[in-house]
Structure 1
Amino acid sequence: MALPKANILFGDSPEAPSLSKAEVSRRFDDLMVALTDAPTRTLGPSDVVQAFSEGRGITFEQQPTTAYGAITKALGSPDIVKGLSAEALASVTSALDEVKAQQPDLVKDLTLTGPISTGLVAFDLEAPAKMLTPRPTPIRNRIPRRKGLGTSHRFKVISGFTGTGTGGVGNIHPGIVDTTQNNFAPAGASNSLYYARGPKISYAGYDKVVPYSQFSVSDAVTWSAQYAGQGYQDIRQLSRTSLLYSSMLLEERMLLMGRGTGAGFLGALAAPTGVTVTARSAAGSEVGISGATTNVYVKATSDAGDFGQSVLSAAANSAVTNGQVVDVSVTLPAGATGVRVYVSTGGSDPGDASRWFAGKAGSNLFTITGALPTSGTAASTVTGDTSAYASGYDGIVPICTGPESGYVNRLNAALSTTNPGSEFQTAFAALYDAVKADPDRIMLNGSDRKQLSDSLKVNSASNYRMTLTQDQLTGVTIGDVVTTIINEVTGKGVAVEVHPWLPQGTAPIISDTLPLPDSEVSDVWAVFNVQDMMGIDWPVNQFAFESSSYWFGSLVCYAPAWNGAVTGIRKA
């Protein structure tokens, strides 16, 4: 505890207005001697026993908590009073009263909220920041990556010859007799040459050109952020790591559902057609709409997954009352992963600026329930197509649902519960009939795989049975999952996998390899990059550390006809 300075205690004060420096010093010395010589006593165990035996008890005096209180108590000690002259004691008491008035903080307590509202406390901050960021890239991890060259990848395909039943080439009968003669003149020759030989076979084929595109994302860390973060986290390192993972995740989504507009790619999705709006009573767990006035007006777009949507459809409307639900049904173009719906309400159509995004579905049917949206994304923001990009390529979903796919079925219904997996068995049969395909796996959204697994259990007419053995009568594990579907055509087990970013309602059927000897196709799917993914740290030309990723390439599918899809799977 620090005492006030001598000139405050004994200096210029009403009681001693003109004390010399020597007198001030002498009085301060007397005070120090008195404080030092003050008798002290430590209370020991024997004192406590004696006090209780005499019935006196023990009392503990409240001790001072401030400097002012400690000095005031000390000055009240008889021994100090005896050691100081009356003038010195009066001078010290007066000076302390002035100090108390001038410096009130001397008598304040320190608390969790004082003298600072946030308290004089430490923060239990755990470093570094927690990265709760999912980043699975199963397609990128699986598909082989190969070296590209130039501006596009090219290959030639023999799609059929006589006897294969593919490529549009017909069959011929090979039987001959001794007098059989067939024309073997070169195409376009003016003369005909006939030989006693069997008929010539025919071929079909085509060239394939897959343009390359460039891709990049960037990030920046200001100097202030980097240096202020020292001792907590390396912000520049966090930026580089996040940039790498972001690039890989965006490539994963491109590989899954990207659409390109370049030569040979599928291009933009068309808007939905045949939009109908039907109001009906809410059923089951459905929640009736609220906020409706007279009519609802709906426009829809074709959903392209993560990267965008088509332009808007024409508007459709229906009279509605609060408490009903509204079914929006559309006809979707090939390749769409579902429908997005925008809704407004009023006596007349208020226009796209007041038509708000209501949600999307993985099939051709979306049901509007609950409170009608009054904010968010307006239909007026859909000013052009965002389903396809000039700097992009076709991913797995567009290829498996496109015109070169071997099989596409837009189900527009829930998966069968009377014959679980029948939709895929139909696809297997069609693919085998077309090109003798024998797929390797089916990719599903998580909710669609759950629906497929539940289809084994929800219908008693199903030909599947679950049996509990004697040792499972207690502690039974509930739940089952479909991991493989046996191809009833070829007998091969087809793996069922969940892809974390696959839109609900679409199930690509994938062939990783071909069941063809000497096909010259080791992998049906491959990524060709002129420059594979790399990171660039830009020269510092401002108060920031800037980085970018870069890659230059495309996805190549050598055999689209060996792949297919079931789309339009409605949630059960």
Structure 2
Amino acid sequence: MALPKANILFGNAPEDPELSKAEISTRFDELMGALDSAPSRVLGPGDVVQAFTEGRGISFEQQPTSAYGAMTKALGAPDIAKGLSPEALASVTNALDELKAQQPDLVKDLTTSSPVSTGLVAFDLEAPAKMLTPRPTPLRNRIPRKKGIGLSHRFKVISGFTGTGTGGVGNLHPGIQDTTQNNFAPAGASNSLYYARGPKISYAGYDKTVAYSQFSVSDQVSWSAQYAGQGYQDIRQLSRTSLLYSSMLLEERMLLMGRGTSGNGFIGALSAPTGLTLTARSAAGSETAITGLTTNIYVKVTADAGDFGQSVLIASAVSVAPSTQVVDVTCTLPAGATGMRVYVSTGASDPGDAARWLVGRSSTNAFTIQGALPTSGIAASTVTGDTSAYAAGYDGIVPICTGPDSGYVNRLNAPLSTANPGSEWQTAFAALYDAVKADPDRTLLNGSDRKQLSDSLKTSASSNYRMTITQDQLTGVTLGDVVNTIINEVTGKGVAVEVHPWLPQGIAPILSDTLPLPDSEVSDVWSVFNVQDMMGVDWPVNQFAFESSSYWMGTLLCYAPAWNGAITGIKKSN
């Protein structure tokens, strides 16, 4: 600790304001001599042990925490007081009092807010950052991945022959008599060639060609981010890991909801909804009357394609709704739509798509406009064309299971049945069996829809189901039950009920993993063929950044769409 300068301590002594430099020096030397001659003792470990052995306590005084405190304590020591003249002691004391007022930092303690407002403390920062990012990919983990070559994948299908009842091939009676003759001339021959033989059977078949598509996502880490993060987290490692998981999650969503263009062998874009109608009515139950209304309500809708887009807009409809009313929006949705998106605006005249905002989405063909009308958000003007299908894309499970080649599609536009729980699936199982003798393996549901299915058992008036709540030997009961299997009442097979984390509410694909057909040459109904499976690329550094990309090239194939189906338009339960 440094002492104040001599001229500060003694230069303006009140008893003698005209002290000479020699006198000031003399007094300062006396102070230094008194401090140096003050007795001191260092207390060692032996002294502590001896003190406690003799029953004596040791007092550790609170030490000064500032320069002012240290000087004041030192001047109060008897040895220093004796070594200084009264005039010198008074000068030092007065000078310290003036310093206390002029330089508050000399007497201010160090605290958690002083001298720095955030404190002279360490930050208890735990490294690295926590990755609270769900990344389940059940389809990608389950569906077989096989090697592809070239620009497309092609296979041929025999879809039926006489007796199968499939492929549009009719049946014939095989009975013959001795006089029976049938024409065996080659197809297209100008003459006939009859033999005494049974009639020839017929075949149906088709070629299937689907294009491979390329996929990629990228990420970038600036040098400043990488080097500034040293000691906390490896930012490049975080970037690469996130890029990998992002690629896998996007592929999972493509496997579920992707939609390719018809020119590449896929189903193609969704058409717009039709038959849009608006009906104003009084708000009922838990509904909230519309607010923010000026004169009229103008509505446009699109067919929802899930994660990747929507159809084009349908022409607007108009309705007048008084302040006590809501407006029901209904339309006819095209096959394959997961629901609809509703855009609304208000005014004496139609303000146009730039002022028409997304008010919500529905998994059915109906939506109720209620509450405050939106005045911002996603504008209808952003829907400048179809985004439901992509040239660099393929058909996923939902488009295939709801498409023209699917074995069964039913749009409920209603909640699941509580009178006969699971009846929607039993109807589907029966239809699939009648069509191609399909025996599905599993059905996918959104979590909300699975809960609704499970709840239907509890609210069912049918006596076919009973739930028992049992009490254990100690205390408490277990509440709740869940449907994990639906027994196919046609074949007796158990169909697994699985929740898919990214499946939109309102649709339940019904899937066959294998075919109940011997020698079908189809080991897996669903397969991913990749010319190049997923890989990572670190690009050469050509700027102050580390850049990476993922890349894969392939497609999803369903060899037997007719052995799959879907229940759509499941209305969410309240």
Q: Same fold (TM over 0.5)?
A: yes
Q: Measured at CA, do residues 551 and 165 of structure 1 come closer, stay the same or move farther in structure 2, by a change above 3 Å?
A: same
Equivalent pair of 1:11/1:19 in contact (CA under 8 Å): no
SS across alignment from 2:250? helix
**1:351 — aligned with what?**
352
What amino acid does structure 2 have at the position aligned with 1:127?
A
Q: Distance in 2 between matches of 1:535 and 1:471?
A: 53
**1:55 — aligned with what?**
none
Alignment of 1:115-154 (within 5 A): 115-154=115-154
**2:330 — aligned with what?**
329
Q: Distance in 1 between matches of 2:21 and 2:401?
A: 104
Equivalent pair of 1:338/1:361 in contact (CA under 8 Å): yes
Task: Please state how far the C-alpha of 1:560 moved relative to its aligned partner.
Answer: 0.4
Task: Please state how far the C-alpha of 1:547 moved relative to its aligned partner.
Answer: 0.6
Q: Distance in 1 between matches of 2:193 and 2:568?
A: 53
Q: Which moved more, 1:380-389 or 1:139-148?
A: 380-389
Alignment of 1:40-189 (within 5 A): 65-77=65-77, 79-85=79-85, 88-89=88-89, 92-93=92-93, 96=96, 99-100=99-100, 103-189=103-189
Normalised by the size of structure 1, how large is the TM-score? 0.91
Q: Which moved more, 1:144-153 or 1:352-361?
A: 352-361
SS across alignment from 1:341? strand
**1:50 — aligned with what?**
none
**1:48 — aligned with what?**
none
Q: Distance in 2 between matches of 1:352 and 1:248?
A: 36
Task: Please state how far the C-alpha of 1:255 moved relative to its aligned partner.
Answer: 0.2
**1:536 — aligned with what?**
537
Q: Distance in 1 between matches of 2:552 and 2:71?
A: 77
What amino acid does structure 2 have at the position aligned with 1:265?
F
Equivalent pair of 1:16/1:91 in contact (CA under 8 Å): no
Q: Which moved more, 1:127-136 or 1:275-284?
A: 275-284
SS across alignment from 2:459? coil
Alignment of 1:255-294 (within 5 A): 255-261=255-261, 262-294=263-295
Equivalent pair of 2:112/2:121 in contact (CA under 8 Å): yes
Q: Measured at CA, do residues 131 and 169 of structure 1 come closer, stay the same or move farther in structure 2, by a change above 3 Å?
A: same
Q: Measured at CA, do residues 459 and 15 of structure 1 come closer, stay the same or move farther in structure 2, by a change above 3 Å?
A: farther
Normalised by the size of structure 2, how large is the TM-score? 0.90
Q: Which moved more, 1:435-444 or 1:275-284?
A: 275-284
Q: Distance in 2 between matches of 1:255 and 1:370?
A: 37
Q: Distance in 1 between matches of 2:558 and 2:61?
A: 90
**1:453 — aligned with what?**
454
Task: Please state how far the C-alpha of 1:210 moved relative to its aligned partner.
Answer: 1.1
Q: Measured at CA, do residues 470 and 8 of structure 1 come closer, stay the same or move farther in structure 2, by a change above 3 Å?
A: closer
**1:220 — aligned with what?**
220
What amino acid does structure 2 have at the position aligned with 1:287?
T
SS across alignment from 1:136? coil
CA RMSD of aligned residues (A): 2.6
**1:518 — aligned with what?**
519
Unmatched 5+ stretches in structure 2: 49-59
Equivalent pair of 1:160/1:167 in contact (CA under 8 Å): yes
Q: Which moved more, 1:32-41 or 1:279-288?
A: 32-41
Task: Please state how far the C-alpha of 1:263 moved relative to its aligned partner.
Answer: 2.1
Q: Distance in 1 between matches of 2:340 and 2:29?
A: 93
Q: Distance in 1 between matches of 2:558 and 2:351?
A: 46
Q: Which moved more, 1:90-99 or 1:433-442?
A: 90-99
Q: Measured at CA, do residues 473 and 223 of structure 1 come closer, stay the same or move farther in structure 2, by a change above 3 Å?
A: closer
Task: Please state how far the C-alpha of 1:110 moved relative to its aligned partner.
Answer: 2.4
Equivalent pair of 1:270/1:333 in contact (CA under 8 Å): yes
Equivalent pair of 1:443/1:496 in contact (CA under 8 Å): yes
Q: Distance in 2 between matches of 1:138 and 1:568?
A: 24
Equivalent pair of 1:156/1:205 in contact (CA under 8 Å): yes
SS across alignment from 2:170? coil
Pair 1:195-2:189 in alignment: no
**2:317 — aligned with what?**
316
**1:401 — aligned with what?**
402
Equivalent pair of 2:470/2:478 in contact (CA under 8 Å): no
Alignment of 1:223-262 (within 5 A): 223-261=223-261, 262=263
Q: Distance in 1 between matches of 2:399 and 2:117?
A: 60
Equivalent pair of 1:271/1:302 in contact (CA under 8 Å): yes
Q: Distance in 1 between matches of 2:109 and 2:279?
A: 71
Q: Deviations over 1:93-140 (max 9, x none)?
A: 566467556643212232332222222222221111111111000000
Q: Distance in 2 between matches of 1:467 and 1:78?
A: 89
Q: Distance in 1 between matches of 2:72 and 2:473?
A: 81
Q: Deviations over 1:334-385 (max 9, x none)?
A: 0000011111122322221221111101111112222221111111111111
Equivalent pair of 1:167/1:204 in contact (CA under 8 Å): yes
Task: Please state how far the C-alpha of 1:444 moved relative to its aligned partner.
Answer: 0.6
Unmatched 5+ stretches in structure 1: 45-59
**2:55 — aligned with what?**
none
Task: Please state how far the C-alpha of 1:183 moved relative to its aligned partner.
Answer: 1.2
Q: Deviations over 1:30-49 (max 9, x none)?
A: 3233124447899x9xxxxx
Q: Measured at CA, do residues 472 and 478 of structure 1 come closer, stay the same or move farther in structure 2, by a change above 3 Å?
A: farther
Q: Measured at CA, do residues 458 and 197 of structure 1 come closer, stay the same or move farther in structure 2, by a change above 3 Å?
A: same
Task: Please state how far the C-alpha of 1:565 moved relative to its aligned partner.
Answer: 0.5
Q: Distance in 2 between matches of 1:489 and 1:534?
A: 45
Q: Distance in 2 between matches of 1:116 and 1:173?
A: 99
Equivalent pair of 2:471/2:477 in contact (CA under 8 Å): no
Task: Please state how far the C-alpha of 1:3 moved relative to its aligned partner.
Answer: 2.9
Q: Distance in 1 between matches of 2:292 and 2:147?
A: 57
Task: Please state how far the C-alpha of 1:147 moved relative to its aligned partner.
Answer: 0.5
Q: Distance in 2 between matches of 1:106 and 1:321?
A: 74
SS across alignment from 1:526? strand
Q: Deviations over 1:468-517 (max 9, x none)?
A: 46868962211111111111111111111110100111110000000000
**1:465 — aligned with what?**
466
Equivalent pair of 2:167/2:204 in contact (CA under 8 Å): yes
